[in-house]
């Protein structure tokens, strides 16, 4: 039995296109993997530790191979709980809106918490950086108001998908299947219906063999 963690990153809930497509994905996934567990992490409904003070000092203590103080160990516990919840999963679904060409700040906060030396990546002068999240894969469902395509060069502006590939690859998740929902705002209602239909079809196809 596998555990699938759905990291839901839009605050728009029933109006969210990325959540809508993620739900279609998970519905199909459940048909084909009935005994797997689906866990949802709503990033807007989760209190994440601030990455400052004793928490940040803990990170630097780890990086510099120093002992943590009692207060740092206490603060670090909150980070470890978020990381272990993340690492408990075998597969990941990220659904996210594009915000200002990138990802929403709440999702960035989540990555700033879980991407830690010795937990999700390692560094040594001999080997450089190595991702520690091995043998796991992800589906990344990106919604955006406009369209970002290679034909007109606007793909250059898409930091959302680029960042997701970069950051997941950094921690070792290199098998990343993308689903792009675009444009969600720029077209007429018929065009939006067509965009959603295509994305949902893609989601069902990927879900079957995910």
Residues that bind ligand FMN (CB under 6 A): 10, 12, 16-19, 97-101, 143-146, 184-185
**Closest-CB residue for ligand FMN?**
97
| Smaller CB separation from ligand FMN, 37 or 45 | 45
Mark 65-88 as b/e (b = at least 16 C-beta within 10 Å).
Answer: eeebeeebeebbeebeebbeebbe
| Smaller CB separation from ligand FMN, 77 or 145 | 145
Measured distance CA(201)–CA(24) in Å, rounded = 9
CB of 37 to ligand FMN, least distance (A): 24
Element (H, E) at 105: helix 105-114
| Smaller CB separation from ligand FMN, 23 or 137 | 23
CB of 165 to ligand FMN, least distance (A): 18
| Smaller CB separation from ligand FMN, 51 or 186 | 186
| Smaller CB separation from ligand FMN, 22 or 171 | 22
Cα separations (Å) of 79 from 61, 134, 189? 14, 20, 43
CB of 104 to ligand FMN, least distance (A): 8
Are residues 147 and 160 in contact, defined by beta-carbon separation less than 8 angstroms? no
Helix (H, G, I), strand (E, B) or coil at 52: coil
CB of 96 to ligand FMN, least distance (A): 7
For the beta carbon of residue 164, count every other beta carbon within 10 angstroms.
Answer: 23
Measured distance CA(123)–CA(69) in Å, rounded = 23
CB of 183 to ligand FMN, least distance (A): 7
Helix (H, G, I), strand (E, B) or coil at 38: strand
């Amino acid at each position: 039995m596998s555990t699938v963690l759905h990291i839901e990153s839009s605050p728009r809930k029933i109006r969210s296109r990325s959540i809508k497509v993620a739900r279609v994905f998970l519905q199909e996934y459940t048909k084909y993997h009935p005994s797997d567990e689906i866990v949802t992490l709503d990033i807007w409904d989760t209190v994440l530790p601030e990455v400052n003070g004793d928490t940040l000092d803990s990170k630097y203590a780890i990086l510099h191979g120093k002992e943590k103080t009692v207060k740092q160990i206490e603060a670090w516990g909150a980070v470890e709980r978020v990381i272990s919840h993340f690492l408990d999963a075998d597969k990941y679904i990220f659904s996210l809106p594009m915000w200002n060409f990138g990802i929403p700040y709440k999702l960035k906060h989540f990555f700033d918490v879980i991407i830690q030396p010795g937990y999700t990546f390692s560094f040594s002068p001999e080997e450089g950086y190595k991702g520690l999240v091995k043998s796991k894969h992800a589906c990344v469902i990106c919604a955006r108001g406009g369209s970002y395509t290679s034909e007109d060069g606007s793909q250059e502006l898409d930091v959302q998908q680029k960042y997701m590939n970069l950051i997941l690859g950094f921690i070792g998740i290199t098998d990343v299947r993308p689903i792009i929902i675009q444009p969600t705002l720029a077209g007429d209602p018929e065009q939006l219906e067509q965009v959603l239909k295509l994305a949902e079809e893609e989601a069902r196809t990927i879900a079957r063999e995910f």
